[in-house]
Structure 1
Amino acid sequence: MEEFNNVLNGAKIAYFSMEIGLKNEIPTYSGGLGILAGDVIRVSGDLSLPVVGVSLVSRKGYFKQKLDAYGRQSEDVQDWSPEEHMKLLPAEVTVRIQQRDVRVRAWLYEHKSLAQDTIPVILLDTDFEVNSPEDRMITDHLYGGDSRYRFKQEMVLGIGGIRMLDELGFHIVKYHMNEGHSSLLTTELLRSNEMDPSRVKELCVFTTHTPVASGHDAFPYDLVRELIDGEHELEMLQKYGGESELNMTLLALNLSDYINGVAKKHREISEKMFPGYKFKSITNGVHSYNWVCSHFRELYDRHLPGWANEPELLVRVKSVPNDEIWQAHKNAKKELVDFVNREKGIGMDHHTLTIGFARRMTEYKRPAFIFSDLERLRKVNNAGNIQLIFAGKAHPKDYRGKEIIEEIFGYIEELKGTIKIAFLENYDMNLALKMVSGVDVWLNTPKRPFEASGTSGMKAAHNGVVNFSVPDGWWLEGCVPGVTGYSIGSRIGPGKSPEEIEEIELDDLYNKLEYNVIPKYYERRDEWVTIMKNSVEMIAYYFNCHRMMRRYVTEAYL
């Protein structure tokens, strides 16, 4: 990457993201999008890439999840103090919102990599005395409030972010929008480039992360007119962001030269959602060192020195003795099971096949899919005991997602005495690492084709955990059936109804658990450990951020 730095000669790539998972104590993330953004910052330090991150300070975080005995979710604020983790910069800029000048200041977080390179992250903040009480709250809640609140946030992120980088003296040569939340930055670039869209396109890179229509922010123009500054601005947004409503994804698509989805299948889906636009695909990855537990770090350090900065070396994991792989896994599993037993007091066992499911609780991810036929599930358990660990938050306004958590609590009660099941509250980065390293099987059951990429299974594979997933998103690329893990419903042909697809998937889920997964885990341990090693050798070595960011550099930034 040294040549890349020489080409840029002191210039920076600005990476904009509404959420960013810097570390567990800084709750400026809600899930996969923010964790990916944090991994981008981490790997940029490893590779000495000239990146500066831009986000909002989100003083009250996303939310702290509380679950009662029936699984009913309530939300508490996550108040935290930026001054404990970063420093306030002397610069201020103004963004005109609703005919008022809103002052924006910036906090600087400095990420130091393993190689001691520093990546700056600018977190924008409106909470200070010169602003009105209403405006001080704009940067409080990540994904909080109504459409008005969200659009104000996106104005601060996109417009305020550009102005803050200019005020701080950064020389930016590329602006990378991680999802459409920051795409108002394109309007600021138009103004500073004589309204020439071709010049703006040369500056902009856009990554979209969702094949779900509701995941693309859109705002009615009556609201936009109320909040922005003038009719000329409105005309510009209608020209590039859609005539009937302001679609933030469309705005980014029309003003970016490089556009990509986050898996090969997601590129195809995106081109169908937005006809006429050509997408590339750079499949997501995870930051290897950050998502490997201490037991596997120590193992890799001994056998594969240099793996942390060169995760391609994980391809040599076959040289690691099976018993050492198994012992590292047993140690990670003990930590998780002991944690669950302390939290829930249900007496989970260290030797029972443990299946984990943890991600955002929302309908298309089908968190309760494994409970669709309880008699079949009991039959599976008779073939060899299983225990299940769940975690995940439902967005405060996702009422169906909240209901699903309650349903899972109902199944926990119904299966009590047969299958031990735990639902861990307040899923965060620390709990995620415990789970992706401590379970035996990582389960993922999304409705196809709504999983854009997914990264939790990549994290599991880095720790030798076996993936068992519907073939969607990244798993379409990562699954070699029976070799790197197991697929659910992989042989479904065209022309099937959604109901038929679900029936086939469910039957395949139970059959593979009963006749493949359980016998191999309990009776053919060497074969099981071989799949664990294949997960590291064939998945972790490739599905990592080092590979991902090298592709961004050569394909999107240069």
Structure 2
Amino acid sequence: MTPLDPYLARTRIAYLSMEVALDPAIPTYAGGLGVLAGDTARSCADLELPVVFVTPVSRDGYLRQEIGSGGEQIDHPDPWDPAAHATPLDAMVAIRIEGRPVWIQSWLYRHACPHGGCVPVILLDTRLEQNDPADRGITDRLYGGDEALRLKQEAVLGIGGERMLRALGFEIQTWHLNEGHAALLTLALLRRHRLSAGRPAEGPLLYDLDPVRERCVFTTHTPVEAGHDRFPYDLVSHVLGDFFEIDQLRPLAGEDALNMTRLALNLSAWVNGVASRHAETARRMFPGYRIRAITNGVHVPTWTHPAFARLFQRIAPDWAHDPDTLVRADRLEDAAVRAAHAEAKAALVEETKARCGAALDPALPVVAFARRMTGYKRPDLLFSDPGRLRAIAARWPFQVVVAGKAHPRDGGGKALIRAVHEQARALEGAVPVAFLPGYDMALAKVLVAGADLWLNTPLPPMEASGTSGMKAALNGVPSLSVLDGWWAEACEEGVTGWAIGRDGDAAEAAGHARDLYAKLEGTALPLWHGDKDRWTWMMKQAIARIGSRFHSQRMMRRYAAEAYLR
């Protein structure tokens, strides 16, 4: 019996993602895309869906963040040992990169849920003695290196992932591409289909596209133009050689460069965005394609603080498996909700002290912002008028906690981290501001449960979905957010939280800081300080109206019914 025997007979769906957040001790993720993929795997196990996940092993992780004395981000590798968490598998496959065979080994990670369901995750690894030294590190660092390394990584995921599953004995009927990183899979399928049909790899594609399209599902996540990978065709030829003729590739992937999103769109019969607003944005970016919407969700038992889990057990014993039942959260006793939040907040106070030495006051509200540090997320919006912040805090005292990493090559994101630290120093004595380094799954769990108000300030329409506010809502934390991404669907003013701006239109962005300050000073903070009963009512509404709806169980039921079982 092999480690894969329990999965081979039933697994019919493959989910390919450049990053998957499996466990806080396994840093194979950079941010929201990977955390979503991890929650997807967790819900697939819960629902016993026949899915196998494929991702690079990323032995050196993404980055371990250190904050220097001047507030600068210092990047370090974040290594982990696959042998401590996964089982090596016997099969090896090779793909040709720069004319050389690059061998790929696989590791098996099993994610099991308390109900007994389990899904396999295949980790692809090129650190092998059989490989040229220049190729061994392809799968070492998530999103590391230059454009050429990025293309090699995507070739390993898409082309290598397809070959590996076949070599391991999986018979896949549906391929789910989580973002365009895996789009080269479609070319691998197209090439295999043509050869199996007795046609040469070159020649007209007219009769070969539909059989591949019908097997592919594509989820696009980014409404940011720069977020769609493009590779010059001379680089594609250099890296992939004659795997696919460039003249045949141009109609599918773009005339001037290989656009991975365009390739996935053209060779996937089912395409979706990750929120209703995002699907609208994607349809404007890529006219002519049918792009549906399945709003992201979060894995409820993963992100619920133990204190709230105990409360949920009283009113909805099946809440972890069927989070729809959290609609009953409005029945919770106020005192019990406050006690659970106090326990979660105490953990945040302790974590903040340990990470950066700042002493939060549990008697004051905590406004939290934790996102990837990059320009369109606008982590500096809250600090755009320090004088106004001081005036608000003098009337309604509050404190701020910030966390987030910048991509190693995102100079603008790193500058924002420095700017937040500068503002924190400037506001000292008036508004306590703590920046918590090392934002990851473990810290996120503490933040989303311990905050009092969750802040999100993206520049619309650049928020694809966002899920941090969903996790906060599970723990009774209302949001104050721009009406973009998922919040455009979830915001009920004064019930689940508050909106910044009116409709998420970019034309209103100039007024977002003004509206943010107005909501803090005139609504949210006065309510927290002056009407605990109403605030607690909102906490329960956040759980009941958001927690019961924006979860990955519902998300995966929709994928299964609408995308996988077409």
Settle same-fold status: TM greater than 0.5: yes
- What's 2:318 paired with? 306
Question: Is 1:472 matched up with 2:507?
Answer: no
User: Does the Cα contact within 8 Å between 2:63 and 2:75 map onto a contact in 1?
Assistant: yes
SS at match of 1:149: helix
Q: Quote the offset at 1:342 in angstroms.
A: 3.0
User: Does the Cα contact within 8 Å between 1:383 and 1:518 map onto a contact in 2?
Assistant: no
User: Does the Cα contact within 8 Å between 2:180 and 2:220 map onto a contact in 1?
Assistant: yes
CA distance in 1, matches of 2:503, 2:254: 39
User: Does the Cα contact within 8 Å between 2:46 and 2:321 map onto a contact in 1?
Assistant: yes
Q: Please, what TM-score do these two structures have when normalized by structure 1?
A: 0.96
SS at match of 1:164: helix
Of residues 231, 245, 249, the one that matches 1:233 is: 245
CA distances 1:113-147 after superposition (whole Å, capped 9, x unpaired): 12111100001001010101111010011001001
Of residues 549, 556, 559, the one that matches 1:549 is: 556
CA distance in 1, matches of 2:158, 2:356: 43
Question: Is 1:531 matched up with 2:543?
Answer: no
Could you say if the C-alpha distance between residues 208 and 227 of structure 1 is closer, same or farther in structure 2, counting changes exceeding 3 Å?
same
- What's 1:60 paired with? 60
CA distance in 2, matches of 1:343, 1:92: 42
SS at match of 1:10: coil
CA distance in 1, matches of 2:362, 2:519: 22
User: Does the Cα contact within 8 Å between 1:228 and 1:234 map onto a contact in 2?
Assistant: no
Of residues 256, 260, 268, the one that matches 2:272 is: 260
- What's 1:331 paired with? 343
Q: Quote the offset at 1:202 in angstroms.
A: 0.7
- What's 1:149 paired with? 149
- For structure 2, the residue ranges without an aligned partner over 5 or more in a row are 1-7, 195-204
Q: Quote the offset at 1:229 in angstroms.
A: 2.7
SS at match of 2:245: helix
Mean Cα deviation higher: 337-346 or 537-546: 337-346
Q: Which amino acid aligns with 2:515?
A: D
Q: Which amino acid aligns with 1:552?
A: Y
CA distance in 1, matches of 2:456, 2:350: 24
Q: Quote the offset at 1:234 in angstroms.
A: 2.4
Superposed counterparts of 1:408-557, under 5 Å: 408-490=420-502, 498=507, 501-557=508-564
CA distances 1:407-452 after superposition (whole Å, capped 9, x unpaired): 1110111111111110010100000000000000000001111001
Q: Which amino acid aligns with 2:537?
A: T
- What's 1:98 paired with? 98
Could you say if the C-alpha distance between residues 50 and 512 of structure 1 is closer, same or farther in structure 2, counting changes exceeding 3 Å?
same
Q: Quote the offset at 1:9 in angstroms.
A: 7.6
Q: Quote the offset at 1:491 in angstroms.
A: 6.0
CA distance in 2, matches of 1:435, 1:347: 15
SS at match of 1:405: helix
Could you say if the C-alpha distance between residues 232 and 139 of structure 1 is closer, same or farther in structure 2, counting changes exceeding 3 Å?
closer
SS at match of 1:170: coil
Q: Which amino acid aligns with 2:287?
A: P
User: Does the Cα contact within 8 Å between 2:111 and 2:120 map onto a contact in 1?
Assistant: yes
- CA RMSD, 1 decimal: 1.3
SS at match of 1:505: helix
Q: Quote the offset at 1:521 in angstroms.
A: 0.5
- What's 2:14 paired with? 14
CA distance in 2, matches of 1:440, 1:167: 50
- What's 1:115 paired with? 115
Q: Which amino acid aligns with 1:33?
A: L
CA distance in 2, matches of 1:184, 1:491: 37
Q: Quote the offset at 1:345 in angstroms.
A: 2.8
SS at match of 2:522: helix
**Count of aligned positions:** 546
- What's 1:164 paired with? 164
- What's 2:51 paired with? 51
Q: Which amino acid aligns with 1:402?
A: K
CA distance in 2, matches of 1:207, 1:219: 20
Q: Percent identity?
A: 49
Mean Cα deviation higher: 297-306 or 258-267: 297-306
SS at match of 2:462: coil
SS at match of 2:327: helix
CA distances 1:473-522 after superposition (whole Å, capped 9, x unpaired): 00000001111100011268x7xx85xx2342111111111111111101
CA distance in 2, matches of 1:343, 1:271: 43
CA distance in 1, matches of 2:256, 2:355: 50
Structure 1 outlier segments of 4+, above 6 Å: none
Superposed counterparts of 1:268-417, under 5 Å: 268-417=280-429
Q: Quote the offset at 1:231 in angstroms.
A: 7.3
CA distance in 2, matches of 1:111, 1:380: 47
- What's 2:228 paired with? 216
CA distance in 2, matches of 1:90, 1:313: 43
- What's 1:82 paired with? 82
Q: Which amino acid aligns with 2:46?
A: D
- What's 2:197 paired with? none
Could you say if the C-alpha distance between residues 48 and 375 of structure 1 is closer, same or farther in structure 2, counting changes exceeding 3 Å?
same
CA distances 1:8-43 after superposition (whole Å, capped 9, x unpaired): 982421000000000010010000000000000000
SS at match of 1:74: strand
CA distance in 1, matches of 2:118, 2:438: 30
Q: Which amino acid aligns with 1:275?
A: P
User: Does the Cα contact within 8 Å between 2:87 and 2:107 map onto a contact in 1?
Assistant: yes
Q: Which amino acid aligns with 2:258?
A: L
CA distance in 1, matches of 2:145, 2:453: 37
Q: Which amino acid aligns with 1:115?
A: H
CA distance in 2, matches of 1:375, 1:325: 35
Could you say if the C-alpha distance between residues 17 and 232 of structure 1 is closer, same or farther in structure 2, counting changes exceeding 3 Å?
closer
Question: Is 1:139 matched up with 2:139?
Answer: yes
CA distances 1:325-361 after superposition (whole Å, capped 9, x unpaired): 1110011001101221233333210010100000100
User: Does the Cα contact within 8 Å between 2:298 and 2:467 map onto a contact in 1?
Assistant: yes
SS at match of 2:556: helix
SS at match of 1:135: coil
CA distance in 1, matches of 2:532, 2:361: 18
Q: Please, what TM-score do these two structures have when normalized by structure 2?
A: 0.95
- For structure 1, the residue ranges without an aligned partner over 5 or more in a row are 1-7
Of residues 250, 261, 264, the one that matches 1:249 is: 261
Q: Which amino acid aligns with 1:150?
A: R
CA distances 1:351-401 after superposition (whole Å, capped 9, x unpaired): 101000001000100001011111111111122110000000000110011
